[in-house]
Amino acid sequence: METNDTATTEYKPRDYSLERWIVRLLLLLFLLPFVTQAQETTTLATNEGAGLLLKTATPGTYAIVPAVKSEVRITVTGPIVRTTVTQTFHNTTGRCVEGLYVYPLPELSAVDTLKMTIGSRVIVGEIREREQARKEYEQAKSEGRKAALVEQQRPNVFTTSVSGVMPDDDAIIEIAYQEMAQYENGEYRLRFPMVVAPRYTPAHTLATSVAAKLPFTPSGSNNNGGTIALSVDLQPGYSVRNIASAQQAKSETLGNRHYRVTADSSTLQAGHDFELSWQPDLGTNPEATVLTEKLGEETYALVMVTPPAQSAVRLPRETIFIIDSSGSMEGASMQQAKAALLLALGDLNPGDKFNIIDFDSMARPLFSDSKFADASSIAAAKSFVEKIDADGGTEMLKALQLAMPEHPTTPSGTVRQVIFMTDGQVGNEQELFSFIHSRLGESRLFTVGIGAAPNSHFMRNAARFGRGTFTYIGDVQQVQERMSELFGKLDAPMMTSISVHSSDSIAESWPERVPDLYRGEPLVVAIRVHDANAKITLHGSIGNEAWSKELTLPPAGSSEGIARLWGREKIESLMDRITDGSDPNGVEAEVIKVALQHHLVSQYTSLVAIDQTPQGLNASCKAEPLPTGNTPDHADPGTLPQTATPAGLLLLIGGSLTLIALIALRIVK
Q: Tell me the CATH number at 480.
A: 3.40.50.410
CA-to-CA dists, residue 568 to 290, 509, 511, angstroms: 19, 12, 10
Mean pLDDT for the chain? 78
428 and 334 co-located in one domain: yes
Q: Residue 23's domain spans which residues? A: 17-39+640-668
The pTM of the full predicted model, rounded to 2 decimals, is: 0.70
How many domains does the chain divide into? 4
613-647 pLDDT, tens digit each: 555 444 556 777 766 544 434 333 333 333 334 44
343 and 433 co-located in one domain: yes
C-alpha closest to that of 101 among 192, 175, 196:
175
22-66 pLDDT, tens digit each: 555 555 444 444 333 332 333 344 444 567 888 777 777 778 777
pLDDT tier for residue 212 given thresholds of 50, 70 and 90: very low
pLDDT at 416 over 60: yes
Burial of 76 from C-beta contacts in 10 A (0-12 / 13-18 / 19+): buried
Contacts of 570 (CB under 8 A, 6+ apart): 508, 510, 594
Is residue 189 domain-resident? yes
Q: How far apart are CA 278 and CA 259, in angstroms?
A: 11
Sheet holding 535-542, edge to edge: 496-502, 535-542, 545-552
Look at residue 660 in the predicted model and tell me its pLDDT.
59
Of 455, 470, 490, at which residue does a domain stop?
A: 490
Is residue 205 domain-resident? yes
Of 430, 464, 490, at which residue does a domain stop?
A: 490
195 and 230 co-located in one domain: yes
Is residue 452 domain-resident? yes
188 and 299 co-located in one domain: no
Beta strands 121-124; 535-542: pairing state: unpaired
Pair 40, 200: CB distance under 8 Å: yes
120-170 pLDDT, tens digit each: 778 888 999 999 999 998 888 888 777 778 765 555 666 777 777 888 888
229 and 90 co-located in one domain: yes
292-342 pLDDT, tens digit each: 899 988 999 999 888 887 766 778 899 999 999 999 899 988 998 999 999
List the Cα angle 197/42/129 in 5-degree steps: 100
Look at residue 258 in the predicted model and tell me its pLDDT.
87
Look at residue 216 in the predicted model and tell me its pLDDT.
33
Burial of 73 from C-beta contacts in 10 A (0-12 / 13-18 / 19+): middle
Amino acid, single-letter form, for residue 658 = T
Q: How far apart are CA 510 and CA 576, in angstroms?
A: 12
Is residue 596 domain-resident? no
pLDDT at 516 over 60: yes
Indicate which CATH number applies to the domain containing 51: 2.60.40
119 and 108 co-located in one domain: yes
List the Cα angle 437/400/382 in 5-degree steps: 140
Amino acid, single-letter form, for residue 508 = E
Burial of 489 from C-beta contacts in 10 A (0-12 / 13-18 / 19+): buried
Is residue 211 domain-resident? yes
Burial of 549 from C-beta contacts in 10 A (0-12 / 13-18 / 19+): middle
Indicate which CATH number applies to the domain containing 533: 2.60.40.1230
Percent of the chain with pLDDT over 90: 30
CA-to-CA dists, residue 82 to 232, 262, 466, angstroms: 10, 16, 28
Of 438, 465, 490, at which residue does a domain stop?
A: 490
Beta-bridge partner residues of 152: 158
pLDDT at 221 over 70: no
81 and 184 co-located in one domain: yes
539-552 pLDDT, tens digit each: 998 888 899 999 99
CA atoms within 13 A on the CB side of 196: 18
339 and 254 co-located in one domain: no
Look at residue 669 in the predicted model and tell me its pLDDT.
56
84 and 148 co-located in one domain: yes
297 and 197 co-located in one domain: no
366-401 pLDDT, tens digit each: 999 999 999 999 999 999 999 999 999 989 999 999
Please tell me whether the peptide bond between 218 and the residue prior to it is cis, using omega within 30 degrees of 0.
no
